[in-house]
Amino acid sequence: MLVAFSITPSTSGEDGAVHDAVAAAVEVIRASGLPNHTDSMFTTIEGSWDECMAVIKSACDRVGEFAPRVSLVLKADIRPGYSGELTGKVERLEAALRDRG
């Protein structure tokens, strides 16, 4: 299972509060041991349903320490029996692009 998600604190506009909260969430995600990738919009993790949801909950709880309200956007690719898709999907895309050129 792949889950792409974004966690954002609602703050009253204090300088730096958003990136500090997001950094705290990313620390939780990286410490989980699940394969993960963070870019400018989302973090994607790979694992079982229970593993992924536990990490996302912990990351939301951590962001909640910075603000009274937390927003979560989540997209999941639920495909039992597959692993290594965090990089595998991108590798297949790059191969298809090379084949076209």
pLDDT tens digits, 65-101: 999 999 999 999 999 999 999 999 999 999 999 999 8
Is the pTM for the entire model greater than 0.85?
A: yes
Q: Domain with 17 in it: what CATH number?
A: 3.30.70.930
DSSP H or E run through 79: none
For the chain, how are helix, strand and coil distributed in percent, rounded to 5? 45, 25, 30
Please provide the size of the chain in residues. Answer: 101
pLDDT at 15 over 80: no
Residue 43's domain comprises 2-100
Angle made by CA atoms 45, 8, 10, in degrees to the nearest 5: 160
Q: How many domains does the chain have?
A: 1
